[in-house]
Chain A
């Protein structure tokens, strides 16, 4: 998890061409406030395949705001098909994926269904619980334990 600004841990590098330091960015010539942003890293179960065939699996999602939930409701595609809401929403909060220069709703639209389902669960988990651990119980012995939802790490599977 990383968070920009006070109260958090690690500051994310600003995206190229936006934010403070960008000559053409908003707020040029005046002090611009940095919003507090918390990000969680994830690893897609299958991975997004771009036009060149490169697979992108590791990415990051920031916590959602009220604006993130309200903007898709005004999107004409969502009005015509409410199922599209999660595509627009995830396109806003997924901040990076692999080596893609940017992530948007068109990226999310072309993901495998299993990756989309993973991101929807991940979104609910971080926004409702504030972390990526989920409490589960063993179906055989009923013992409770926690699992990490963010995806596998090296040496684990």
Chain B
């Protein structure tokens, strides 16, 4: 009702790629938590790109 499946898959893949978390762990994050961690990963990627 609130999230498109492909958006969820995209965010799950992003977290798994950067943090190496298991799919089960990522799927069980609440939406808000998952979005926050996507933001954290993006910030880390940006910081390492600038370094």
Contact = CB atoms under 8 A, between A and B. Distances in A.
Interface of A: 35-38, 63-67, 69-70, 73, 85-86, 89, 120, 123-124, 127-128, 130
Given A69-B8, A120-B1, A64 B27 contact: no
A67 B32 contact: no
A83 to B, nearest CB: 11
A63 B2 contact: no
Nearest to B32: A130
Give the size category of B's interface with A: 10 to 19
A86 B1 CA distance: 7
Given A63-B31, A63-B32, A130-B32, A73 B2 contact: no
Contacts of A35: 28
A69 B3 contact: yes
A127 B12 contact: no
Contact of A127 (B2, B8, B27): B2
Closest 7 CB pairs of A and B: A67-B27, A63-B30, A66-B8, A66-B27, A127-B2, A65-B28, A127-B31
A123 B2 contact: yes
Given A66-B28, A66-B34, A69-B2, 8 more contacts: A35-B28, A37-B30, A64-B2, A65-B28, A65-B30, A123-B1, A124-B1, A127-B31
